[in-house]
Chain A
């Protein structure tokens, strides 16, 4: 396929069960050789999206193309190009790790010798060689997930779907999984479509992230772009006396939020060096000494809650924060200092 063509493109995917709409018109375009993360809370429709794109269930509406094959008219072409590691382990418990891989090789019609070679290579690569002759039922969660992914890779898929690949794994297994996923893209140039409810995972792995909520994509972009879309970042200054706090608060006006008990002042801003310099310059100009300074950047958790309408959260323009209820439209936020400094 043409290298400029997207690996996955979808327009207006819809799916409902009875009168419950699960997907309400999803558009996707994923370039080849990139990692795409579909982020969303439980029940957002992530798994349904994967099931539709991996030919498991038909969509009620919309069209999609994967690796140049039309999902509806050429499902077998799609199947030949994809590999799927679902949310629930899809290994054969009664077979050994090696037998599981050879089963996959046989179903890909690789031939006996090539099948064995591929199985041995994958066992080695995923550090499963020692457990090769043990039944999969005896495997730990992390080993199982690795075997599951190894089975997906036997057929050398161009597009890999990973539905919540690290859910339920311990931190170490999760790191291992991340390394494997990253190496797939770096070494083999495959396209990875992963779903996750872990923001950190999307942040770590994905080139682009789409946030899915109630069957609708509510945001799409890089991790940084998404973080910029929500409030929550501020610079916190700590002072040694109420007098210093008061004079500093006077300088920043109503956008800053003061906490007289902790002697802190929160100034909304994105925490970049120019922002910090601007803040410190203001203080220096009047010789107010801050005892300490910490930067709080919005993480994807803030993004997630703001975009998916979590408890008490609602999408808000960038500089309003719930810590500045009295903010007026004409105040000059700190970030604008940074903008003008460019």
Chain B
């Protein structure tokens, strides 16, 4: 067999291992799904009334607040998967099995590829679940099949970017506790963007940050695709952010993995 087919088969083996982990140890997977679902319920039923009246006029006339907030929360499902990735990579690193892999004649990249692909699959499953819950509680997107596909593609890209970043975090973190704490700011970032309220309602400094941080264009694109709001330049910006972050995460993770044992 050639090197390339070995690399693919090694990555598949690693992917199988990670999916088995997800099934054997479902509490992590469940917490990844539960967090955004709780957010969705919280923002729709608890804050929804007040927030909805406050911003009703801003995005597009008289939309329901659920239609405004759902895309933002769906995106949080993508980021909360990041924590799980960082933890599972870090647990592997602390448990000695990675050193076994390193002493075997297997494709160097397969360990990380298996983790990342596994996490992306897991996160996409939880995103689907969150979308389902959103639809159940009244989210009414008007997206065409093509727009749905584009939204799914964008979410996959974003998940990929955050998964690579988290994999790198998992590699450099000293222990699983640290690994689960470092990505927390990432999961908090959507709040400082246009996820739950429009940046126009924020004080100047914060608004400036909200407008230029990576999540805002992604949320705006997603919202545009699903509910038909204005996308404008956000689409390009969202793609650029996703690809850029993927590249940074990938290079960082690769370098951290090569740096050797701890």
User: What residues make up the interface of A, taking CB atoms closer than 8 Å to B?
Assistant: 51, 54-58, 76-77, 79-80, 82-84, 86, 88-95, 99, 103, 106-109, 135, 151-152, 155
Contact = CB atoms under 8 A, between A and B. Distances in A.
A84 B101 CA distance: 10
B113 to A, nearest CB: 13
Given A82-B103, A89-B96, A109 B20 contact: no
B31 interface: no
A56 B261 contact: yes
Contacts of B9: 106, 109
A106 B260 contact: no
9 contacts: A51-B261, A57-B260, A88-B96, A92-B17, A94-B25, A95-B20, A107-B106, A135-B24, A155-B104
B100 A55 contact: no
Interface in B83-103: 95-97, 99-103
Given A56-B260, A109-B1, A90 B97 contact: yes
Given A92-B17, A107-B106, A86 B95 contact: no
Interface of B: 1, 6, 9-10, 13, 16-17, 20-21, 24-25, 95-97, 99-106, 260-261
Name the prevailing secondary structure of the B interface residues: helix
B105 A76 contact: yes
A90 B20 contact: no
B103 A56 contact: yes
Closest 5 CB pairs of A and B: A90-B100, A79-B105, A90-B96, A88-B96, A80-B105
Given A55-B102, A107-B10, A95 B17 contact: yes
B26 to A, nearest CB: 11
Nearest to A100: B97
Among B16, B20, B96, the most chain A Cβ lie within 10 Å of the Cβ of B96
Contacts of B25: 94
Nearest to B108: A76
Given A56-B261, A107-B10, A109-B6, A94 B97 contact: no
Nearest to A108: B104
A137 to B, nearest CB: 10
B20 A99 contact: yes
Nearest to B24: A94
A76 B3 CA distance: 12
Contacts of A107: 10, 13, 101, 104, 106
Contact of B100 (A77, A84, A94, A109): A84
Contact of A93 (B16, B95, B100, B105): B95
Contacts of A151: 100
Contacts of B99: 56, 84, 86, 90
A92 B261 contact: no
A109 B20 CA distance: 19
A103 B13 contact: yes
A82 B100 CA distance: 11
Contacts of B100: 84, 86, 90, 151-152
Contacts of A79: 103-105
A45 to B, nearest CB: 15
Given A55-B103, A93-B95, A152-B100, 9 more contacts: A55-B102, A56-B102, A80-B105, A82-B103, A86-B99, A88-B95, A94-B21, A99-B20, A109-B9
Contacts of B17: 92, 95, 103
Contacts of A56: 99, 102-103, 260-261
B261 A57 contact: yes
Contacts of A106: 9, 13, 16
B106 A94 contact: no
A92 to B, nearest CB: 6
A25 to B, nearest CB: 22
B142 to A, nearest CB: 43
Contacts of B105: 76-77, 79-80
Contacts of A82: 103
B103 A84 contact: yes
A53 B95 CA distance: 21
A30 B13 CA distance: 35
A11 B48 CA distance: 72
A93 B91 CA distance: 11
Contacts of A93: 95
A58 B261 CA distance: 10
A80 B104 CA distance: 6
B125 to A, nearest CB: 19
A135 B261 CA distance: 26
Nearest to B106: A107
Nearest to B13: A106
Contacts of A86: 96, 99-100
Nearest to B9: A109
Among A51, A54, A107, A152, the most chain B Cβ lie within 10 Å of the Cβ of A107
A101 to B, nearest CB: 12
B84 to A, nearest CB: 14
Nearest to A79: B105
A235 B104 CA distance: 52
